Structures are given as C-alpha cells and as structure tokens.
C-alpha cells in the first residue's frame, strides 16, 4: 500500500519513509534504499534478498560495507540519511506437499520483480532503462523529479542478469552525477596502487642476496665463455720474447764487447 501511495503523489524523502514494510521478514523480498546525500540529492537503490532481515543488517553494518565496496555503499558513506522500505515479498515455494503457483522458480521471479521496481523507480542507468521503456507510451523516460529535485539511481546492472555467467555493465564514465564520477576515481586508485605494489615486490625479489649471487654467477659464466673463445698467449712466451729482444739490443750497442783491432809489433835489430 505504501508503494502505491508514494507513486501516486509527489516524490520526496518523507514519502519514501512512509513505504516502510516488515524489514524483519526472513524470506525472499525486493526492497529499496533511499539515500539522502551530502549534496542534498536523493538517490534510490533497489535490491533483492533471500532474507530481508539479514540483508538490511548487512547494509547497516559499516564493516560489511567497507569489505564489499559498491556505488550503493559509497552513496551511503557520504549521506545524511537513508531509509529502507520493503517493496514486495515472496511466499514460501510450497505449502505442505503442494507447490504454490508461480513458485517453481522463485529466483527468476525475484529477478523479474526487482527489474520491475528498478524501472518504476528509475534506478537503472539510462542506456538500460530506455531500452525497456521506449515502447511504453504511458511511461516517461528519464529521471523523476520531486521535492528534493531530480531523483538519482544507484543500480548499475540489469537484475535480469543475476546468476548469469556474463553480466552486462554500463559505462558510467560519462555520467553527469558527481557521485558517479567520484566513485569511478576511487575504484581506479586501488588498481593503480596495487600495480605499483606488485612492481615494487618484483623489484625487491630481484634484489635479494640469492638473486644477486645468481646474477653474478651468470655474469662470470658469460665472461669465462668469452675468454675461452679468444686467443691467449702464455705469459712466459711474452716475457721470453722481451728478454731475447733486450739482450740483442745490449750486445749490439756501444757499451757491449767491442772487437779488438790488430796491432803490429816492431822488433829492433
């Protein structure tokens, strides 16, 4: 009843609070979270849960939000107030031994309900919502406007992709919402920081004593192979050649032994 009252009147944060519902419900549910940001703008997130009570507790737990970052939690981190309301609940899959009609595949039904509510509250990016609303003449495209201005959305993927191996994500880099731009910058920083840490770790591993010893052994082996390929002249051959040359020079110099000249002896009679 609170959902129809909200949709039939003027949208506002106070009207979102009136949706309410049983937030302690233990079964499958579809819910919304209206987040009033520091920029005085209201943004809505629509989600599903197999246990609504547990899911609400996770959203309100700071440590859980810290360990599971998302655009929704980023909006909650920089918000003034948020209000959670139950949009729909699913009955048990069976009553006794009899299966309830339409409950043979509750996960699919939950995805359909979540998708429906995302389109009703305009929480999906325009590229996704426009595809589903372009043939509905009564439905207005774009964001809804209310007391606090234009209401934003915090869902970034189609609920119909839940459980699929491949999920279609929309590029939000061109969004005019400053919260989206800030979140995109924050998600890129950890990746850059992680990459720098990995490069530093590799450099440190390469600079260990064992790695330096390995590099020195490889350099010594390359030098030894290079020396073996070149022509070597034994040291004693070089020194012997120098001694012979030096002796030859001394013997042929003036300071060496000179040949004696022949002298004549005259005898007097």
Residue whose C-alpha is closest to residue 54's, from 45, 64, 44:
64
Q: What is the pLDDT of residues 135-187, one digit of tens each?
A: 776 667 778 889 999 999 999 888 988 765 565 666 677 777 889 888 888 77
pTM score over 0.75: no
For the chain, where are the alpha helices, taking DSSP H only? Answer: 2-8, 13-17, 52-59, 62-67, 71-77, 106-121, 126-133, 178-206, 209-229, 235-251
Tokens of 154: 């915090």
Strand 145-146 with 42-49, pairing: unpaired
Tokens of 146: 């209310």
What percent of the chain stands above pLDDT 70? 66
Measured distance CA(48)–CA(61) in Å, rounded = 17
Give the helix, strand, coil percentages of the chain, each rounded to 5: 45, 15, 40
pLDDT at residue 197 in the model: 57
Q: Give me the residue label for tokens 């060496």.
A: 256
Within 8 A by CB and 6+ apart from 94, the residues are 100, 103
Does position 72 have pLDDT exceeding 70, yes or no?
yes
pLDDT at residue 66 in the model: 93
Q: What length does the chain have? A: 269
Q: What is the pLDDT of residues 92-129, one digit of tens each?
A: 876 666 667 777 788 889 999 999 999 999 999 888 88
Q: How confident is the model at residue 267 (pLDDT cuts 50, 70, 90)?
A: very low
Residue whose C-alpha is closest to residue 87's, from 3, 174, 210, 201:
3
Measured distance CA(48)–CA(52) in Å, rounded = 8
For the chain, give the mean pLDDT. 79
Does position 263 have pLDDT exceeding 70, yes or no?
no
């Amino acid at each position: 009843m609170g959902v129809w009252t909200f949709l039939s009147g003027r949208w506002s944060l106070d009207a979102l609070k009136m949706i309410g519902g049983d937030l302690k419900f233990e079964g499958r549910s579809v819910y919304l979270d209206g987040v009033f940001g520091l920029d005085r703008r209201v943004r809505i997130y629509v989600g599903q849960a197999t246990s609504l009570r547990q899911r609400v507790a996770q959203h309100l737990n700071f440590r859980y939000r810290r360990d599971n970052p998302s655009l929704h939690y980023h909006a909650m981190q920089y918000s003034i107030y948020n209000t959670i309301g139950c949009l729909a609940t699913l009955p048990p899959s069976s009553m006794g031994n009899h299966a309830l009609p339409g409950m043979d595949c509750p996960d699919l039904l939950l995805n359909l309900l979540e998708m429906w509510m995302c389109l009703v509250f305009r929480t999906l990016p325009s590229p996704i919502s426009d595809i589903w609303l372009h043939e509905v003449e009564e439905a207005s495209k774009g964001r809804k406007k209310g007391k606090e201005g234009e209401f934003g959305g915090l869902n970034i993927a189609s609920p119909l992709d839940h459980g699929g191996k491949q999920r279609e994500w929309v590029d939000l880099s061109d969004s005019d919402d400053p919260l989206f731009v800030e979140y995109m910058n924050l998600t890129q920083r950890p990746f850059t920081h992680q990459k720098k840490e990995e490069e530093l770790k590799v450099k440190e591993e390469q600079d260990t004593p064992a790695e330096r010893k390995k590099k020195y052994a490889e350099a010594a082996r390359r030098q030894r192979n290079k020396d073996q390929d070149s022509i070597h002249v034994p040291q004693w051959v070089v020194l012997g050649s120098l001694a012979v040359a030096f002796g030859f020079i001394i013997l042929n110099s003036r300071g060496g032994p000179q040949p004696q000249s022949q002298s004549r002896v005259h005898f007097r009679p």
